[in-house]
Structure 1
């Protein structure tokens, strides 16, 4: 028996809280104003992420710890059956840590940031109809960024950082027996009466690796009360040399009747009945294709360019605007090369995405500030690659925030964000084609999320 297990979406992690699989909520102060931080720094060191130039001119050491809790909700409704499947309910933490120290008489600063600009977990029940594409996707890309920033003049600052990324990925999926070859050359198990959607194997992919990149930032204040900022986060290529596939047999509890094509003896014209699980078991033993094995693949983390402005409209009110470009075209295809399973190249065809962020803050008193914001963002995935692993689409989001001094050298910032994603047609099947097309989309994905962020900042 030739058993061609499809390695379909192995190591193709996708998005949970931002477009693609990006996460922009890296500090509660900036989060409260919808991510507008490239032209105006918060006093918590988070400019290490939002614009490295923003830490220049810091007069005291800053240390901040914080994070964001992301609670996504989503469903898939099948066009034909009308059945609705739901994402598993869960809350996912995204932590961050920043430290900044002034040097050179206040004209320069050094900093260290630990944050996760790319990450996700998307999980469905293991009986979900899209489980053969994937029922769990997880990526955690943690960046460690030492940073230096300088005042090039009274109104110009420049910053740069080196990024070391620690990346872990996981994907779980099932394999459908009906699509597998039962007897060479062309007899499939479907030809033997095995129903479509019959699970026979569970694949659990895990991999970890590192990548390297850089981060540049510039801030200019041409006149009092008006500033402009720009930042560029470089792309990274992360190679997984030893991603491990753990493959487990899933019982079918099916018996093939006597005289079936697999056990049939051409000389006698007869053959015994056989338990299908016993027949398949050899593929999960040494010498079979479906033993645990390692593989090689690459993950490309895209580059980002953000441009923005901030205007101190009154002594208490500030208005901000950012434009964000993310080059998701780096995630065009995914090549998979395993020890035993057939090599495969998966087409993803992600597109460049653009976002517009609007924010504002108002000082209620010397130590307390309220914030609000709104952003809109296009989708990265084209219609043909909207799958259970990335049920993403164009998004709109609203935020509110509050920052206050708890004591002389300690501050807390809180933020809430709601993400509303446009309903998006997608698929729960691969459609049986090498190149995916929107023609096989068979249902509607819906998604929204609640996010809560908190940052505790200390100055000393």
Structure 2
């Protein structure tokens, strides 16, 4: 038999699966709730070459070493509008309660509607070369404002998976001041400080009916002896017990008979860092068919958060029943456990290793490649601690594995003012099984197809637009909480991304009337 406090393990899933973004949805980088939507210009080529290309000031996020390759000062303001879809198909969700009359009882409710939520992800970058010197090298600084992790899902309040998730939000916001230095004319190094804010808000339904039934079970079992001791005739005892059980069942103290809602909020500031380098193994027209070529590597550190904030419980009932011959002696038993209190949860965000290649050829074309390794395996479990000393701490096992994202992309410098882009990526999920896949993060492996362009009509402004569609493999769910609510079915997901940015440029070399040796528009930057 489970006691009411045992439900706290189930409630820990609310805190443990902290997942939202400041205007994001199921999408992104390296699976789960990581987001790669940090650059409108890179979206068009599926973010291939991000650690090597140094297309514009958004290199701050992918590899700060790229700042040293930008000869202009830049201010870029962009946004990526995420349009996700996450629909669930129920395939026999049930209550797992061996030894009780409720075992294998069907979970009630619909499929929850579309759990995806449309949002806009903003990106803002500023970069400034400090000096360019053949003798002393090139030094640049910059700062980026980004949203590197999160998602939002929202399901109908009466859906079949309500005990696992209703609404999930996680806000992450990074401030990344960065610096880069190029020496020997071909080697660039860079570093950035990641000052990160995270804030979570999560809700789920609570099956107070089942919790009440389990709390009442020992009361029912002891009732015959209690009645006999009080002088009730032996022949009347079964009828009194049955009438008491019927009254409490009619009051909703059976599984799925009396739902409440739990909501948890928390936030935290923490700090990490990003470092990287770029090697330019080819510059200009050193070979007949191959021009600029470079490879890059960056490392984005893990960041640990301890989210703290209020927890609220709505609908915790009194354990009483009208018409019951015998009343439960502790009517406030549930309310003594499920009351408003503070809580905290550790959230360990992963480190990311990023390898990229950029190669221009035949003057007007470039190809990019990318491998991104995200160390999700450090997120094996989430420890939850409640402020109330009578509420034990809990551990939620996620069992994440590392994931890898592979991408290829191309650019065609069609005109001196126009660049066309395309790309493809394959992104692995860190979720290892249907048993550990929560409807808060209905993630699976995904394929990423994108296109975009840059138009630069003059020397001081450029416009980027891009579009991507993510094909997500169907995600099986066989998720069971500590009360035995087994959500079984399949999620069908897809994502569309529409993006646009404007970049203001100043300083730098004088424009040439021809295509610059780097292959970029002459009113952009040159190498």
TM-score, normalised to structure 2's length?
Answer: 0.77
Corresponding position: 1:17 with 2:83? no
1:329 to 1:185, Cα distance in 2 relative to 1, 3 A: farther
2:305 counterpart residue number: 238
The CA RMSD measured in Å over matched residues stands at: 2.7
For residue 187 of structure 1, report the CA deviation from its aligned partner.
Answer: 6.3
Separation (CA, whole Å) in 2 of partners of 1:212 and 1:351: 24
Q: CA deviation at 1:198?
A: 3.2
Whether the aligned pair in 2 keeps the contact of 1:121 and 1:136 (CA below 8 Å) is yes
Q: 1:149-186 CA distances to partner (integer Å, 9 max, x unpaired)?
A: 00022111111011110111111111112331433747
Among 201, 209, 228, the alignment partner of 2:260 is: 201
TM-score, scaled relative to structure 1? 0.88
Mapped pair 1:219 → 2:302: no
Corresponding residue number in structure 1 for 2:181: 150
Other-structure match for 1:137: 168
User: Paired residue for 1:267?
Assistant: none
Mapped pair 1:447 → 2:493 = yes
CA contact (8 A) 1:178 1:195 kept: yes
1:321-371, Cα deviation, whole Å (9 max, x unpaired): 100100001111011111233321110111100110111111121011111
Q: Which of these residues, 55, 78, 84, is aligned with residue 90 of structure 2?
A: 78
Is residue 249 of structure 1 aligned with residue 315 of structure 2?
yes
Distance 1:39 1:302, change over 3 A: same
TM-superposed CA distance for 1:62, in Å, is 0.6
C-alpha change, 1:366 and 1:252, in structure 2 (3 Å) is farther
Q: Secondary structure at the match of 1:53?
A: helix
Q: Is the 8 A contact 1:28 1:415 kept in 2?
A: yes
Structure 2 partner of 1:305: 353
Are the equivalent residues in 1 in contact too, given 2:367–2:409 (CA < 8 A)?
Answer: yes
Change (3 A) 1:152 1:346: same
Write out per-residue CA displacement over residues 187-221 of structure 1, whole angstroms, 9 at most, x where no aligned residue: 69999544432343211111111111110111111
Once the two structures are superposed, residues 25-84 of structure 1 have per-residue CA deviations (whole angstroms, 9 ceiling, x without a partner) of 1011011100111111112x0000011111104222111111111111011111127964
Query: Structure 2 vs 1, CA of residues 238 and 260 (structure 1 numbering), >3 Å: closer, same or farther?
Result: same
Shift of 1:89: 5.3
Partner SS, residue 130 of structure 1: coil
The alignment of Structure 1 onto Structure 2 pairs a total of residues equal to: 435
Mapped to 2, the partners of 1:196 and 1:342 lie a distance apart of: 24
User: Hey, what does 2:206 align to over in structure 1?
Assistant: 175
Q: Which shows bigger deviation, 210-219 or 403-412? A: 403-412
Which residue number in structure 2 is paired with residue 358 of structure 1?
408
Is contact 1:52–1:160 with CA below 8 Å preserved after alignment? yes
SS in 2 for 1:56: helix
After superposition, the Cα gap between the structure-2 partners of 1:186 and 1:283, relative to the gap in structure 1 and judged at 3 Å, is: closer
Q: Distance in 2 between matches of 1:17 and 1:256?
A: 50
Measured after TM superposition, the shift of residue 226 of structure 1 is: 1.7
1:42 and 2:55 aligned: yes
Q: Is the 8 A contact 1:8 1:133 kept in 2?
A: no
Q: Secondary structure at the match of 1:178?
A: helix
Q: Deviations over 1:242-286 (max 9, x none)?
A: 32102211789995552366269xxxxxxxxxxxxxx56x754xx
Measure, in 2, the Cα distance between the counterparts of 1:401 and 1:190.
66
Q: Which residue of 1 aligns with 2:70?
A: 58
Change (3 A) 1:187 1:328: farther
Partners of 2:195 and 2:269 within 8 A in 1: yes
Task: Tell me the residue number matched to 1:276.
Answer: none
Query: Structure 2: any 5+ residue segments left out of the alignment?
Result: 21-25, 94-108, 222-243, 284-291, 507-527
| Residues in 2 aligned to 1:42 and 1:111: alpha-carbon distance in whole angstroms | 14
- Are the aligned partners of 1:323 and 1:355 in contact in 2 as well (CA < 8 Å)? yes
Unmatched runs of 5 consecutive residues or more in structure 1: 265-278
2:349 is equivalent to residue 316 of structure 1: no
CA apart distance, 1:104? 2.9
The answer (yes or no) to whether the contact 1:130–1:428 under 8 Å persists in 2 is: no
Alignment correspondent of 2:384: 336
Quickly say closer, same or farther: Cα 1:178–1:374, change in 2 above 3 A: same
Structure 2 counterpart of 1:95, from 106, 122, 134: 122
Separation (CA, whole Å) in 2 of partners of 1:250 and 1:338? 18
Residue 448 (structure 1) shift: 0.6
Structure with greater Cα Rg: 2
Which of 399, 409, 420 is the matching residue for 2:471? 420
Report what 1:270 is aligned to: none
Aligned residue for 1:356, secondary structure, equals strand
Structure 1 residues 202 and 379, CA gap change in structure 2 (3 angstroms): same
Q: Deviations over 1:110-156 (max 9, x none)?
A: 01111011121111111121111111111111111110000022111
Secondary structure at the aligned position of 1:457 is classed as strand
Q: Distance in 2 between matches of 1:190 and 1:257?
A: 11
The aligned residue for residue 274 of structure 1 is none
**Going by fraction, where is helix more abundant, 1 or 2?**
2
Q: 1:31–1:415: 8 Å Cα contact kept in structure 2? A: yes
C-alpha distance in 1 between matches for 2:469 and 2:317: 42
- CA shift, 1:8, in A, is 3.0
**Retained in 1: the 8 A contact 2:161–2:487?**
no
